[in-house]
């Protein structure tokens, strides 16, 4: 499974977002270094693909020397991740400065070339005017506005992760599966999105979208790719 790593300045709400997406009870705290060890959970995307979501330590300026070892250890997941979620505090007056600091660390880790999604968190703390302006901006910029506290924007974020993944790309195909192949039909239902289904005699004709790896194992049932 590919890994998606959450990165961001301290107190941007990474652990709260991690909990919202996974249901895991990871420590939530405004204290610096509340998250020092990688936290990994598998989540399912709208495409039915599964990824590992990794929560990491919050970045700060001039990391204390005594915490360098823990800091580097927790960032191993960042270097290995396929997609980075840069979690930013949309309510902070120092947002651009914090963004620059995070990108500086990402540059030092040589991961700036990885697909990165800017996630503007804590929109529930904005007033109506600020919120309206932010939402208008994200439509044009490709950023994703969310509230990890209320759950707003999670579907949009998951869809954005889906689009950013290159490992095991999504394919669309038509399958003809005998009805007695219960295990195959169950695998399709569990791992793919079924767009259409028709019954022709003993066969189930299905139009599906799913990961190339799974469709490859079902090649004997494939009619054609679209």
Q: Is the domain of 118 the same as that of 218?
A: no
Q: Is the domain of 41 the same as that of 121?
A: yes
90 φ, ψ (degrees, to nearest 5): -65, -20
Query: Could you tell me the residue range of the domain that residue 192 belongs to?
Result: 170-225
CA distances from 110 to 57, 104, 170 (A): 17, 10, 28
Tens of pLDDT, residue by residue over 66-101, are 554 556 666 677 888 999 999 999 999 888 998 998
Q: Is the domain of 47 the same as that of 86?
A: yes
Q: Is the domain of 153 the same as that of 182?
A: no
CA distances from 207 to 62, 133, 172, 173, 213 (A): 54, 40, 7, 6, 17
Q: Is the domain of 112 the same as that of 180?
A: no
SS3 67: helix
pLDDT tier at 48 (50, 70, 90 boundaries)?
confident
Structure token pair of residue 166: 């290159």
pLDDT tier at 102 (50, 70, 90 boundaries)?
confident
Question: Residue 140: its pLDDT value, please?
Answer: 82
38 φ, ψ (degrees, to nearest 5): -60, 140
- Structure pTM? 0.78
SS3 34: coil
Query: How confident is the model over 7-35, as a mean pLDDT?
Result: 74
Q: Is the domain of 132 the same as that of 185?
A: no
């Amino acid at each position: 499974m590919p890994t998606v790593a959450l990165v961001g300045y301290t107190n941007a709400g990474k652990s709260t977002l991690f909990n919202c997406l996974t249901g895991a009870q990871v420590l939530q705290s405004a204290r610096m270094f509340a998250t020092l060890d990688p936290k990994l959970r598998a989540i399912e995307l709208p495409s039915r693909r599964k990824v590992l979501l990794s929560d990491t330590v919050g970045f700060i300026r001039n990391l204390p020397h005594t915490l360098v070892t823990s800091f580097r250890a927790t960032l191993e997941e960042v270097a290995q991740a396929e997609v980075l979620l840069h979690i930013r505090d949309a309510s902070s007056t120092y947002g651009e400065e914090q963004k620059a600091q995070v990108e500086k660390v990402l540059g030092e880790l040589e991961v700036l070339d990885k697909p990165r999604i800017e996630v503007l968190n804590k929109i529930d703390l904005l007033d109506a005017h600020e919120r309206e302006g932010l939402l208008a901006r994200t439509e044009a910029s490709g950023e994703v506005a969310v509230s990890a506290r209320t759950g707003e924007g999670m579907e949009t974020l998951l869809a954005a992760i889906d689009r950013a993944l290159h490992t095991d790309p999504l394919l669309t195909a038509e399958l003809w599966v005998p009805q007695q192949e219960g295990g195959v039909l169950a695998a399709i239902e569990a791992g793919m999105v079924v767009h259409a289904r028709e019954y022709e005699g003993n066969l189930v004709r299905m139009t599906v979208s799913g990961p190339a790896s799974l469709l490859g194992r079902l090649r004997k049932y494939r009619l054609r790719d679209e």
